[in-house]
Every structure is written in structure tokens, then in C-alpha cells.
Amino acid sequence: MEVSAVGAQGFTTSVETESKIDKEFFLQLLVTQMKYQDPLSPMEDNEFISQTSQFSMLEEIQSLKDEVARLSVYNLIGKQVQAERNNQIIEGVVEAVSIQGDKLKLSVDEYSLDVDDIIEVRHE
């Protein structure tokens, strides 16, 4: 999706984005808005506070989304899964979930799998 913004100087800026607007895009938009604002009519304090609070809310929502995703992985313990790694199909029961760095790993038999490797989950 292409997003166009017209600055105070009358020029148009185009930004290619995915279907979601992330916090980096929001911050970039806020900085651009402040950079090209009319110096004789600067952004009102209320507007700035409103936009920074929206940015804070966006960060909190992203954090909450990440936490929910991490907690949902723990529900896989005891479930039969099928995964694909290096063109090899691995099947087994998830015995444990661990965090290695910023990645969630699933222990399936003798394998340590990334969550992204899972292609199917079944109830036993």
C-alpha cells in the first residue's frame, strides 16, 4: 500500500508500507510532520501530546500482542505437532517450550524447533 503525505511546503512524500502501520512508521511520520511544520503556526501542545500518547499506546499494544503470542505457544505443550525443517518432516509431541535469546524453541523428541517450523498441530 502506498501512503502519500503532503508537507507544509506543498510537496508530496510517498512511503511504501505493508498492510499494517508499525511503530517505526508512526514515529517517522511524527518526525516528518514536526520537521515540515509551519514555524509561524507550530503544532499545538495538545496535538503533540495526543500524537505521542498514540505512539505510546501503539507500543503497548505491540508489546501485549507479542506477550499473547508467546503465551499461546505454551499451549502447545503435550500436543502432537508436525514441523518442517531443512526439507525434513518431524513429528512428535511438544515436551517443553524454552526461550533462547529472543526466539521461542519447542522441544519435540530430540529436536529443538522454532515455532515457525510448525506446520500442523493435532490434539492427541
Q: What is the pLDDT of residues 27-46, one digit of tens each?
A: 787 788 778 777 777 666 67
pLDDT at 28: 82
Q: Give the separation between CA 58 and CA 15, rounded to whole angstroms.
A: 19
Query: Average pLDDT of the chain?
Result: 76
pLDDT at 82: 93
Verify that 8 and 66 share a domain, yes or no: yes
Verify that 47 and 104 share a domain, yes or no: no
Verify that 65 and 83 share a domain, yes or no: no
- Where does 22-102 show beta strands of DSSP type E? 80-85, 88-100
Q: Give the separation between CA 60 and CA 102, rounded to whole angstroms.
A: 18
Q: Is the pLDDT of residue 12 over 80?
A: no
Verify that 47 and 102 share a domain, yes or no: no
pTM: 0.50
In DSSP terms, which residues pair with 15 in a beta bridge?
3
Whole-angstrom CA distances from 33 to 5, 6, 38, 62 are 9, 10, 10, 23
Q: Which residue has the higher pLDDT, 71 or 113?
A: 113
Q: Which domain holds residue 84?
A: 75-122
- Region of 2 (left: φ > 0; alpha: ψ -120 to 50; beta: rest) is beta
